[in-house]
A and B are shown apart, each in its own frame.
Chain A
């Protein structure tokens, strides 16, 4: 196999292991461990009056029961506000176990440890917690009405008022030839990884060390949090992310109460303790995302060019703000998309509700921002009677405008400066891919079959690969094996393949020789985490730099042996050779052996590096000053700012006017993530993202009732798209390399999900001629909408009705 693998569609190396049951997920670890189970609040908002454990004491096999009273030191303090921000003026976080008050259904109150999960659940069931119920605040409207408060000392329920503006929006709007104002909603959903969260902890009392396995996207930071909360020295704690069955953002949130409590119990009991989340727990205790109310006012001229945009958004952050206001910031800053917006003001009020916390879920505020911007474009087109693609085209940032500064501050605290892109190129490719200009014929054809057909599009720009940094370590062993490690974690992205491709290409070794380890603090203790479509950008570049360091050292050593100039050497298929001189070569594995001067020959290969085998220079030490034994290198990549990927989606829907079933008959994606390490993996990411985008647009919602009970907290009731609901996706690529990083790559992990709701709302609106102001939309809601005489008809529908077209 060639060693120049960067950009090749290499099949994922990890899949054979994962799909044949040889993965090692959290619950595969510690089969004999004690099991934890949790008593969780059944109320959305209540004071805890008393906790009676008496009945649980009779359960055979019960080991321990923990409540807030058992928490000491930092554990008794509120959980950290992970990402503080000056505009987060009223941050609130819960406790690992409730301290007298619960603020959402599912908040942990008591932890039970028993010989197994069955016994733990039996004991948990017998623990009686007395509650005094308090009024529940559910949904953004109830939160902003503030007739009741989630936190008594935050009477208006506003945690943060995030505000950015690029000019004086009111006069700009007043001077605009046209303005439109409208309100729209987007619902809650969640990532729903196949594997929920889970934690296993083992305490070695003899050497005072703690090993924690957790299904996380941030093992290094979980490690730091455990050390801080349990008052351990960092060197006493190691955290490993084993195979992780999906994350989608919910596992970047940390430390989850269970990530602290399970280790605490393991230390207290001197035993292995494990907790694996069940599905109901995941629904009511892990994070959700997405709910916003958006009030938009836009000014534009006769050609549909934006003059000013004013967005006032209410963002439901749930009961607490442990992840700060990252999602509101991303919505606020990514809303602008690929467009020139002369004056922009955004205010996001992040409000408390008595619901599960809201932290990033794949897309992380971008789908909402895209929904706001793209629906604005649709409305302008409708108001002016222009083609929706034309209005977009007129507002696009042009290829010669890069780097393009939006004069906003992104989630990484850095300016929103688009590094590169070709947005008109995206739009052209999209129109061709979906057949935009031929849709009227399709519409007529569908009408003849008694169906309503519509098309919609949405464009986005996605800030990816934020810092502060990631690192990579590459080491060539005497066996020829190349060990690669990076600290960030993997939860299905195919890092074992794409990182190996990078190293194989950079170092000139067969990919079969490369082994990749991620998310293990024993191997690489410095890392940030896997989120914000950053793994390929951050660790990919760090690993590339580390591989280049190894290559340089290998060439230096080989040049000595081959008595050649390093400049004349090349590495290919794991062999260093003098370019153009067949036979003048040395295997890289031999270079690795020679890189480590030895006294003892523990095997045949080692003999070559021993003191009587090496032609040493008597006046030089075996290891030169400034050098180090071993053929390895560690390096870091720290970007100046995020790199901005982009894309455009279009959907064609057919709606059956008898059932109002919405069938996505075509879904087109044009995707630009700069240079591509592995197009097959990128396409897989796009497919998965589109599936979640379709889910969020048509099926998934968190059905909280007014009391804060999540009424669809199971896979019986929470609709996720099956393969039968996910459309075939046609993809076209565009590559505008990032000038910010050595590999010229941009992130791809979240892209597919971002424009789903916007594009499908546009398509459905186009099909039925009624304004779609809230997503997701179900057949029932669509049925009600088209029969509601007060529902707003689109202008284009009125025009089509005037010409006899079906509306």
Chain B
């Protein structure tokens, strides 16, 4: 299925790129993000707790970035799995200057499998769009200073501000807002968080709906 959307962020493309690649921001802004783990060059593993309604669950995902054209565009390859199913998505993200702001457009081509795939496209996209909107609203609040960022600290000893230089053999783990300690995310992680998070979130939401029938 295809999932397209856009958000207006009140900062320049360069600032948006920085925010979206700041692990601390991402950890705070990805809805339900528990942790981000750097597992290689532009590759991350993350856990997201999700659930609309009473039931929440944890879903594990991996994200890889490619085709980075800072500050204009990149492509994110995300996959995630939880008990109710799997998601695999390729997401193209573009940042376009628009007066004092930046228009971010995303275009996801997602394959949803497993039982969750049966809940209907409108439901999946509805949840994903809602989650994406929550994420971008949170990011925009960070960019415009309407929220005071909580100081994020790396939960792993060897945190690096430049994830590209971190050796793949020494993974870094950042903890999201939903986790116990806040994490220090890497900038690419963010990007993945934006969409990967929402895709994983939607998975979880769908799961939640399904599990909701068995209190």
Interfacial residues, chain A to chain B (CB-CB below 8 A):
34, 51, 53-54, 56-58, 60-67, 69-70, 110, 114-115, 265, 267-270
Is B54's CB under 8 angstroms from A60's CB? yes
Q: Helix, strand, loop or mixed for chain B's interface? A: helix
Question: Which residues of A lie under 8 Å from residue B130 when comparing CB positions?
Answer: 54, 57
Is A269's CB under 8 angstroms from B115's CB? yes
Within 8 A of A (CB), among B16-50: none
- Closest B residue to A269 by CB, please name it: B118
The residue that A61 contacts in the complex, of B122, B126, B127, B213, with Cβ under 8 A, is B213
Is B213's CB under 8 angstroms from A53's CB? no
Q: Given A63-B209, A63-B210, does the pair A54, B126 have CB atoms closer than 8 Å?
A: yes
Q: Is B111 an interface residue (CB 8 A)?
A: no
Within 8 A of A (CB), among B112-137: 115, 117-123, 126-127, 129-130
Is B52's CB under 8 angstroms from A61's CB? no
Q: Given A58-B52, A61-B213, A115-B213, does the pair A66, B126 have CB atoms closer than 8 Å?
A: no
Is A69's CB under 8 angstroms from B121's CB? yes
Complex Cα–Cα for A270 and B117 (A):
11
Is A63's CB under 8 angstroms from B122's CB? no
Complex Cα–Cα for A385 and B209 (A):
75
Q: Is B53 an interface residue (CB 8 A)?
A: yes
Question: Which residues of B lie under 8 Å from residue A62 when comparing CB positions?
Answer: 123, 209, 212
Which interface residue of B115, B120, B130, B212 has the most chain A CB atoms within 10 A?
B120
User: Shortest CB–CB separation between residue B9 and chain A, in angstroms?
Assistant: 21
Sample (19) of A-B pairs whose CB atoms are under 8 Å apart: A51-B122, A53-B122, A54-B130, A57-B123, A60-B54, A60-B212, A62-B123, A62-B209, A63-B119, A63-B210, A63-B212, A63-B213, A64-B119, A64-B120, A110-B122, A115-B213, A267-B118, A268-B118, A270-B115
Question: Which residues of B lie under 8 Å from residue A64 when comparing CB positions?
Answer: 118-120, 123, 209
Q: Given A57-B52, A60-B54, A65-B123, does the pair A34, B213 have CB atoms closer than 8 Å?
A: yes
- Closest A residue to B119 by CB, please name it: A64
The residue that A67 contacts in the complex, of B53, B121, B212, with Cβ under 8 A, is B121
Complex Cα–Cα for A178 and B130 (A):
76
Is A115's CB under 8 angstroms from B115's CB? no
Map CB proximity to A onto B195-210 as digits: 1 under 8 Å, 0 otherwise.
0000000000100011
- Closest A residue to B52 by CB, please name it: A57
Complex Cα–Cα for A269 and B213 (A):
12
Interfacial residues, chain B to chain A (CB-CB below 8 A):
52-54, 115, 117-123, 126-127, 129-130, 205, 209-210, 212-213
Question: Which residues of A lie under 8 Å from residue B54 when comparing CB positions?
Answer: 60
The total number of A-B Cβ pairs within 8 Å is 67
Q: Helix, strand, loop or mixed for chain A's interface? A: mixed
Is B212's CB under 8 angstroms from A115's CB? yes
Closest 3 CB pairs of A and B: A268-B118, A115-B213, A64-B119
Is B118's CB under 8 angstroms from A69's CB? no
Is A53's CB under 8 angstroms from B212's CB? no
Seed contacts A64-B209, A69-B121; 14 additional CB < 8 Å A-B pairs: A34-B213, A51-B122, A54-B129, A54-B130, A57-B52, A57-B123, A61-B209, A61-B212, A63-B119, A64-B120, A65-B122, A70-B122, A110-B122, A267-B118
The residue that B117 contacts in the complex, of A51, A57, A110, A268, with Cβ under 8 A, is A268
Q: Given A57-B52, A57-B126, does the pair A65, B212 have CB atoms closer than 8 Å?
A: no
Is B122's CB under 8 angstroms from A69's CB? yes
The residue that B119 contacts in the complex, of A58, A60, A115, A269, with Cβ under 8 A, is A269
Complex Cα–Cα for A53 and B53 (A):
16
User: Shortest CB–CB separation between residue A57 and chain B, in angstroms?
Assistant: 6
Complex Cα–Cα for A268 and B212 (A):
17
Is A53's CB under 8 angstroms from B126's CB? yes
Question: Which residues of A lie under 8 Å from residue B52 when comparing CB positions?
Answer: 57-58
User: Shortest CB–CB separation between residue B134 and chain A, in angstroms?
Assistant: 12
- Closest B residue to A265 by CB, please name it: B118
- Closest A residue to B126 by CB, please name it: A53
- Closest B residue to A264 by CB, please name it: B118
User: Shortest CB–CB separation between residue A149 and chain B, in angstroms?
Assistant: 30
- Closest B residue to A63 by CB, please name it: B209
Complex Cα–Cα for A62 and B52 (A):
10
Question: Which residues of B lie under 8 Å from residue A115 when comparing CB positions?
Answer: 212-213
Question: Which residues of B lie under 8 Å from residue A110 when comparing CB positions?
Answer: 122
Question: Which residues of B lie under 8 Å from residue A60 when comparing CB positions?
Answer: 53-54, 212
Is A269's CB under 8 angstroms from B210's CB? yes
Is A65's CB under 8 angstroms from B119's CB? yes
Complex Cα–Cα for A60 and B209 (A):
7
